[in-house]
Amino acid sequence: MSEDDPAASVSHTKPPLDSRIGRDDPFTFGQRYLNNEEDVFKHNAWDHVEWGDEQVMEAQEKIKKQYEAPVREFDKNLYNSQPAKYWDIFYRNNRENFFKDRKWLQIEFPSLYEATKEDYGPVKIVELGCGAGNTLFPILTQNKNKDLSIVGADYSKNAIKLVKESEDFDPQYASACVWDLSNPDLELPENVEPHSVDIIIMVFVFSALSPDQWDSAVKNLEKMLKPGGHILFRDYGRYDLAQVRFKKNRLLDDNFYVRGDGTRVYFFTEEELRGIFGKVFKEKEIGTDRRLLVNRKKQLKMYRIWLQAVFESAFSNAPN
pLDDT at 3 over 50: no
User: pTM (2 decimals)?
Assistant: 0.83
Q: What is the pLDDT of residues 87-115, one digit of tens each?
A: 999 998 887 666 555 677 877 888 898 99
Average pLDDT over residues 146-163: 96
- β 148-154/174-178 pair status: parallel
Proportion of the chain above pLDDT 70, given as a percent: 77
Q: How far apart are CA 204 and CA 207, in angstroms?
A: 6
Strand, helix or coil for residue 271: helix
pLDDT at 209 over 90: yes
Run of H or E residues at 225: strand 225-236
Average pLDDT over residues 47-61: 78
Instruction: Please report which confidence band the pLDDT of residue 20 belongs to, taking 50, 70 and 90 as the band edges.
Output: very low
The residue with greater pLDDT, 293 or 286, is 286
List the domains of the chain with CATH numbers: 70-236+266-289+306-313 (3.40.50.150)
The residue with greater pLDDT, 172 or 28, is 172
Contacts of 220 (CB under 8 A, 6+ apart): 181, 182, 183, 186, 188
pLDDT, position 316: 58
The residue with greater pLDDT, 116 or 134, is 116
pLDDT at 256 over 90: yes
Contacts of 222 (CB under 8 A, 6+ apart): 280, 281, 313, 315
